[in-house]
A and B are shown apart, each in its own frame.
Chain A
Amino acid sequence: MADLIEGVNPTRMELLKLKTKVKLAKKGHRLLKEKRDALIMEFFNILEEAKGARRQAEARLREAFNALILAQASMGVMKVTQCAYAAKETPGIETYTRSIMGVRVPVLELQETSRSVIERGYGLADTTSQLDEAAARFEEALAAVVQLAEVERSIKLLAKEIESTKRRVNALENVLIPRLEATVKYIKMRLDEMERENFFKLKRIKAIMEAR
Chain B
Amino acid sequence: MEDRTFRILAKQIRALNRHLAIEKRSLRELLREEKPAIRLRDGELHRFKRAELEKLAKLVPEHLHGALRLPIYIELSSDRFGKGTARIAGRAECIAVAKILEKSCEGEELFIYKPEIRILRRELPTTTQYMFTTALD
Contacts and interface: CB of A to CB of B under 8 A. Distances in A.
Contacts of B118: 41, 44-45
A101 B16 CA distance: 7
B130 A24 contact: no
B78 A34 contact: yes
A34 B12 CA distance: 13
A43 to B, nearest CB: 11
A96 B47 contact: yes
Contacts of A33: 78
Contact of A41 (B15, B46, B49, B114): B114
B134 A31 contact: yes
Nearest to A172: B9
Contacts of A41: 114, 117-118, 121
Contacts of B10: 24, 28
Size band of the interface chain A makes with B: 20 to 34
A102 B121 contact: no
Contacts, number: 80
A120 interface: no
| Main SS class of interface, A | helix
A32 B130 contact: no
Contact of B47 (A25, A30, A97): A97
| Main SS class of interface, B | mixed
B122 interface: yes
Interface in A1-43: 5-6, 21, 24-25, 27-28, 30-35, 37-38, 41-42
Most buried by A among B9, B12, B84: B9
A194 B15 CA distance: 42
Given A28-B13, A31-B13, A99-B40, A176 B5 contact: yes
B47 A98 contact: yes
Nearest to A31: B132
A34 B132 contact: yes
Given A99-B19, A176-B5, A38 B130 contact: yes
Contacts of B9: 24-25, 28, 172, 176
Given A30-B134, A34-B132, 20 more contacts: A27-B134, A28-B9, A28-B10, A34-B76, A34-B77, A37-B84, A38-B76, A41-B114, A42-B121, A45-B118, A96-B45, A97-B46, A98-B47, A99-B42, A99-B46, A100-B19, A101-B16, A102-B15, A102-B18, A107-B47
Listed from nearest, the 8 A-B pairs whose CB atoms lie closest are A102-B19, A99-B19, A96-B47, A28-B9, A98-B126, A34-B76, A28-B13, A38-B130
